Structure 1
Amino acid sequence: MPSISPLVAEGIHPALWRASQLARGHGAYLDTGFPELRLELPGGGWPLGQLTEILLPTAGIAELSLLKPALNQLQGRPIVLLTPPYTPQALALSCAHLETSQLIWITRSKQSNALWAAEQVLRNGSCGALLFWQSQIRSEALRRLHLAAQSSDTFFCLMRSLQMAPLPSPAPLRLSLRPVAGGLELAMIKRRGGLRDRPLTLRIAAHHYLYSHAHTNKENSTADRHAGATSATLARRTPAHAPA
């Protein structure tokens, strides 16, 4: 039986790649806005219609600033902020070219309600992005959300605790963030293709910070420290038929 050349095997199907390579992108992606990060992601950007996990030592360390360049590309489509850790700051968001009329801020006290809201947003498919902060999620709920994401072209990011890194996840892309001087240190936990050995440092300017309350850990916080600059807040909107 004749052997198959590795070069020929690469051309069998676009979903195949060598273990030493990044997966070749198929589907739709959003540019990250960071050239150095673009080179490290399959497809060269944030995947649409898939679950992406961002793992944090604590919420509110400028994860919104990391995602801002991608959100700017959604051309007015709604952006849902589901159970964010702090009140989004309207003035900072406007300065970051994210219109407050584009944003839907949803707060839910019960996790079951938050998960229900996330699934409804994904299955509806009308929103450009869903950013969801929720650490404790069972594996079956993760799979359900990932499946719902695949029915849309929504940019879906789930922010979880860094302590969840050792646990399995259906997300094709998982990365962690840590605050460093002048920006964020990003490490690849999971991606389609070979892993990156060393973290990647991204420089993020302070004026992009988008929360209205500084984090209690002043040394590590990259939240906005000028909360008094505006009293405006985003209007709270919740799904019309959320379960009780």
Structure 2
Amino acid sequence: MTSSATVFNTLPRSVAAAVWRADQLGTVAHATLSSGFDVLDAALPGGGWPCRGLTELLCSQAGVLEWRLLGPALRAQQAGPQGPLVLVAPPWVPHVPGLRSLGIDERRLVWIDARSSAERVWVVEQLLRAHPVGSVLAWLPDVRAVQLRKLQVLAGQAGVEHGPVFVFRDGPAALDASPVPLRVRVRPGPGLMLQVELLKRPGAPLDRVLTLMAEPPGLAGWLPSPRSASSVILPETADVVGRSAVIRSRTVQRPVAH
């Protein structure tokens, strides 16, 4: 019986270069945007967040962890000529000082306050049909798998490269099936660290937790230098963040970034 390796070695070089093996990290034919974390880029197909298709982020507390994880990438993108950053139904009112601390120019920010689940999905559909050149961040906690499949198809059919499209859902959604090829769960880790799990990605599964040092920009220079973080396996930690970081009064504008 001829082994798969023997067959692979007999393929023309151009064909062999296009073959993906299931035990290897998948590759992408389109552009990616660096996450700003070397250890995370090394685990993401193409070395960063995909700029075509969806990325599903599962967060234990909406409106906090996603900004700490995506801040470096969004800051780098805003430094270039790309289009606006579009927010669809963020859980809190955009907080300009917090966004500025992330390096995000509020003049290039579009906030769409869709209320119902159907409205939110419809808005994202229209954005994808328009081939956005910037990034889209959409909070869709109640989105269904069939809706995600449609959004994934629309994002993958974009005629031009655009910025990443992120869909945010609650942590328990990790138990649900999803057609999105890249699913990431982020939870608070010790100190200012984030624990990131790649629940699904093109290629071999990742069997470890990535630990990222994600110091909020507003605290830079005020805290002692932390020890460097690397990709390690850590035990489960409490699924909470500091309550003092969240303002819940109805009379106070709620921040989206810290």
Q: Is the 8 A contact 1:61 1:221 kept in 2?
A: no
Unpaired runs of 5+ residues, structure 1, are: 210-216, 235-244
Q: Deviations over 1:201-241 (max 9, x none)?
A: 111113359xxxxxxx99514895699xxx9999xxxxxxx
Match of 1:204 in 2: 214
Query: Structure 1 length as normaliser, TM-score?
Result: 0.81
Change in 2 beyond 3 A, CA 1:186/1:219: closer
Aligned residues: 224
Q: Is the 8 A contact 2:65 2:187 kept in 1?
A: no
1:50-69 residue pairs with structure 2 within 5 A? 50-69=53-72
Q: Deviations over 1:64-93 (max 9, x none)?
A: 121122212242511111111112210121
Query: Structure 2 length as normaliser, TM-score?
Result: 0.77
RMSD, aligned α-carbons: 2.9
Seq. identity, % = 33
Q: Deviations over 1:6-28 (max 9, x none)?
A: 44569635553222210123211
Match of 2:74 in 1: 71
Whole-Å separation in 2 of the counterparts to 1:208 and 1:171:
33
1:1-244 residue pairs with structure 2 within 5 A? 4-7=6-9, 12=15, 14=17, 16-72=19-75, 73-74=77-78, 75=80, 76-152=82-158, 153-181=162-190, 182-207=192-217, 220-221=241-242
Whole-Å separation in 1 of the counterparts to 2:163 and 2:98:
24
Q: Which residue identity is paired with 1:131?
A: L
Q: Which residue identity is paired with 1:170?
A: P
Unpaired runs of 5+ residues, structure 2, are: 220-237
Q: Which residue identity is paired with 1:160?
A: R
